[in-house]
Amino acid sequence: MNFQINKDVLLNNLIVAQKALSNKTPNPALQGIKIEVFKDHLVIITSNSDIAIKLNVKDSSLDVKEEGSALIPGKYFIEIIRKLDALKCNLSIVADNMLRIEADRSDITLNMMDLEDYPELEFSEKIKSVKVNVRTLKTIIRQTAFATSSIENRPILTGVNFKIDANKLTAIATDSYRLSQKEIELQDTYEPMDIIIPGRSLEELTKILENNNEVVELHFDNSKILFKYGNIKFQSRLLEGNYPETSRLIPTELPIRIKFNKDSLATAIERASLLSSRDGNNAIVKLSVRPDNVIEITSNSPEIGKVLEEVYPVDQIVGSPIKIAFSSKYMMDALKIFNSTEITVNFTGEIRPFIIKGEYDPEMLQLILPVRTE
Amino acid sequence: MNFQINKDVLLNNLIVAQKALSNKTPNPALQGIKIEVFKDHLVIITSNSDIAIKLNVKDSSLDVKEEGSALIPGKYFIEIIRKLDALKCNLSIVADNMLRIEADRSDITLNMMDLEDYPELEFSEKIKSVKVNVRTLKTIIRQTAFATSSIENRPILTGVNFKIDANKLTAIATDSYRLSQKEIELQDTYEPMDIIIPGRSLEELTKILENNNEVVELHFDNSKILFKYGNIKFQSRLLEGNYPETSRLIPTELPIRIKFNKDSLATAIERASLLSSRDGNNAIVKLSVRPDNVIEITSNSPEIGKVLEEVYPVDQIVGSPIKIAFSSKYMMDALKIFNSTEITVNFTGEIRPFIIKGEYDPEMLQLILPVRTE
């Protein structure tokens, strides 16, 4: 193996590959980056137990003198390439399974890892695939993945449920205390699909997708999904099991409706959360409708103090007055992802889930379970 | 106590006061911020075991309805004021020793602490004081405090030694492996002084000094120093004991001199440090002069690999070839604080301290002890 390449081209690809690089792993080979050198392109592969990335690097600066492949200690390799001052670098295998990196006045040799130890990875594309606009996919992930559970005792809730029915894609995430649901219309019509993608995989994926109008192809079977985007193949395992039927959680009658300016509501809740009693890590705040139709956000910690915030609704309040308590974090998480300046909170009753909707966020629904207070 | 003030004026002063606020302390009263309200100004006081801050707040927005004083839980108070949306806020004492904060649509009450528990602090100015330009003082601190020891077993080395002789101020810091020394000329002539200021106090001080050409007054006795700057009084304890006589550490004959471009040398050392053997936390790199007068920076870690960097000196090398090993961190710390593009490294011998000087850094000297390698 012996090739020269533009340093920044190599670095930018390594930064993408790093997303699937293992730091701690039962299999030390996965701390390595696998590089395969062909006549006119490189292949860079990384993998951990959840995701695997395969990059196809073609660049006019690539000059291959000798084909071959190598398994390179990932952390050191990326740090070295990052710190090089040079425009180009030359990578070659020298005696005793060492990688030599020559760049300008730097001459670095790095002990390599044993290529035999690296697992055989399959990045399998299917003939049929679902096509989604990059920007749309990023939005779906941003608006749902935050609501997955981070606790591993119900593993299925650490994933986002993706369902396709004809040309409708629905993504749902819930940690059983809140729920985020987003629907979009696809350009084509597909056969039904129902899979659960780990939330963390989606968050890594979203970091390497740029904000453009290109297309991501989704290829999947029962255990894996492959996202194909530009020269990147990003593969994730799927979660096994049946995702809970969430539709019955969502109230169909919503007799009480209050429209808020999103930022006014968010900053009032943020201030109230400073001095509120805690349920685990969650600061609990109360919302109540005063007879004069002003909304009060209150909190109270006997040791520290209390907060009373007045918020004026944007519109006439629909329905009877209500008093309800909820986690300020869940509420702020939900508000943050709306694009709308004005949002509507829809209540059913004091101990029933409530729903947030935004005028400019079609087909997105946020649901939060209230907290019982005596 | 009852007054109104512009929220940002209050916040900016609280952010300065926060520098001396205790988080963990044997005396819980020191987690509080003391506020004294007078007819036309406020006094804000904070203190921990090392430093104390006293702010005199006069502002056209201040409207005092009732004088008085209070001890307010610091962390919560600052967070609340920071999060307020309002232009102005009103602070008053209400029933049961509570502080009421009213601002726009926010109404917050905070349990106060017992003012009786707060220690009596003296911020004593002397008739005679040393005057230093703010920018100069910040430069002195930046160029010396980093070289203090962070290990507490020789407490005296955690401080910076400030000495005045007539109109010459010398600041010295050393952790016994490296030394940084800076001399400046003062505008006036003073009586001799020789004190040791804790490095951490100086680092907190430097955060609240702006970059301007105003004057800081230094008032001190045997145990304390008071920095007076604008409306701020910043007081620090002094370290007791005799600072080591460092002048005999500094070689007087420097037969070997190499002039470098600072950035070329720094980046070469940074790359070499990636794959070097470690002495504690310090990555050790070697510097040697090749017969062709090129400088080699090398490092070697048997498990990981090795680096060879070539650096071209800016000028003719003076003296005989040398091989020397040193901590890359100490070298990079030292290089970072030079304003000069070109610096000269002056060697005496392979196991003798070496000295770095910069053309545009008059009266600053950096000394580093080499590391013995077999």
Residues A212 and A136 in one domain: yes
The pLDDT assigned to A282 comes to 80
Number of domains in chain A: 3
User: For residues B16 and B227, is the Cβ–Cβ distance under 8 A?
Assistant: no
- Contact check, Cβ <8 Å, A308/B107: yes
Of A271, A306, A312, which to mutate for an interface test with B (greatest number of B Cβ within 10 Å)?
A271
- Contact check, Cβ <8 Å, B105/A310: yes
Inside any domain, residue B45: yes
Residues A12 and A63 in one domain: yes
Inside any domain, residue B373: no
Q: Tell me the C-alpha distance between A51 and A370, whole Å.
A: 35
Inside any domain, residue B146: yes
Q: How far is A343 from chain B (nearest CA, A)?
A: 20
The pLDDT assigned to B276 comes to 86
Residue A135 sits in a domain whose CATH number is 3.10.150.10
Report how far Cα A145 is from the mean position of its chain's Cα atoms.
5
Nearest residue in B to A110, CA atom: B305
> For the segment A99-131, what is each residue's pLDDT rounded down to a tens digit?
999 999 999 999 999 999 999 999 989 888 999
Q: How many CB atoms lie within 10 A of CB B289?
A: 20
Q: Which of B110, B267, B275 is opposite residue A304, by nearest beta carbon? A: B110
- Contact check, Cβ <8 Å, A271/B308: no
Q: Tell me the C-alpha distance between A197 and A225, whole Å.
A: 8
Q: Tell me the C-alpha distance between B285 and B332, whole Å.
A: 11
> For the segment A291-334, what is each residue's pLDDT rounded down to a tens digit?
999 999 999 998 899 999 999 999 999 999 999 999 999 999 99
Inside any domain, residue A373: no
* Residue ranges in chain B modelled with pLDDT below 70: 279-280, 374
Inside any domain, residue B123: no
Residues A323 and A255 in one domain: yes
Residues A236 and A256 in one domain: no
The pLDDT assigned to A374 comes to 62
> For the segment A139-176, what is each residue's pLDDT rounded down to a tens digit?
999 999 999 999 878 899 999 999 999 999 999 999 99
Q: Tell me the C-alpha distance between B128 and B130, whole Å.
A: 7
Cα angle A227, A228, A230; round to 5:
140
Residues B200 and B92 in one domain: no
Cα–Cα nearest to A50, from A197, A148, A254: A197
Facing residues of A33 across strands? A72
Last residue of a domain, one of B248, B265, B287: B248
> For the segment A258-302, what is each residue's pLDDT rounded down to a tens digit?
999 999 999 999 999 998 877 666 899 999 999 999 999 999 998
Residues A8 and A113 in one domain: yes
Residues B57 and B106 in one domain: yes
Interface of B with A (CB under 8 A): 73, 76, 79-80, 83-85, 98-99, 105-111, 267-268, 270-271, 274-275, 303-312
Burial class (CB within 10 angstroms; exposed 0-12, middle 13-18, buried 19+) of A45 = buried
Of B307, B310, B311, B332, which to mutate for an interface test with A (greatest number of A Cβ within 10 Å)?
B307
Residues B169 and B235 in one domain: yes
Inside any domain, residue B85: yes
Give the Å distances, CA to CA, from B280 to B266, B272, B284. Answer: 21, 17, 10
Residues A278 and A355 in one domain: yes
Instruction: Name chain B contacts of A274, Cβ cutoff 8 Å.
Output: 76, 79-80, 83
> Helix or strand or coil: residue A187?
strand
Residues B112 and B147 in one domain: no
Main-chain dihedrals φ then ψ at residue A289, nearest 5 degrees: -95, 120
The pLDDT assigned to A279 comes to 66
Last residue of a domain, one of B217, B248, B279: B248
The enclosing H or E element of B77 equals helix B74-83
- Contact check, Cβ <8 Å, B83/A270: yes
Q: Tell me the C-alpha distance between A80 and A33, whole Å.
A: 13
Q: Tell me the C-alpha distance between A165 and A179, whole Å.
A: 20
Q: What is the mean pLDDT of residues A88-100?
A: 95
Last residue of a domain, one of A243, A273, A292: A243
Q: How far is B306 from chain A (nearest CA, A)?
A: 5
Cα angle B369, B373, B374; round to 5:
150
Domain extent, residue B329, equals: 250-368
Residues 6+ apart with CB under 8 A from A331: A269, A285, A368
Q: Tell me the C-alpha distance between B89 and B9, whole Å.
A: 10
Residues A363 and A255 in one domain: yes
DSSP at B318: B
Residues B230 and B152 in one domain: yes
Q: Which of B83, B270, B309 is opposite residue A274, by nearest beta carbon? A: B83
Inside any domain, residue B25: yes
Give the Å distances, CA to CA, from B138 to A26, A58, A131, B334. Answer: 50, 51, 58, 17
Inside any domain, residue B122: no
Residue B322 sits in a domain whose CATH number is 3.70.10.10
Of A105, A262, A277, A296, which to mutate for an interface test with B (greatest number of B Cβ within 10 Å)?
A105
Q: Which of A76, A105, A307 is opposite residue B304, by nearest beta carbon? A: A76
> For the segment A219-271, what is each residue's pLDDT rounded down to a tens digit?
999 899 999 999 999 999 999 999 999 998 899 999 999 999 999 999 999 99
Main-chain dihedrals φ then ψ at residue B353, nearest 5 degrees: -55, 145
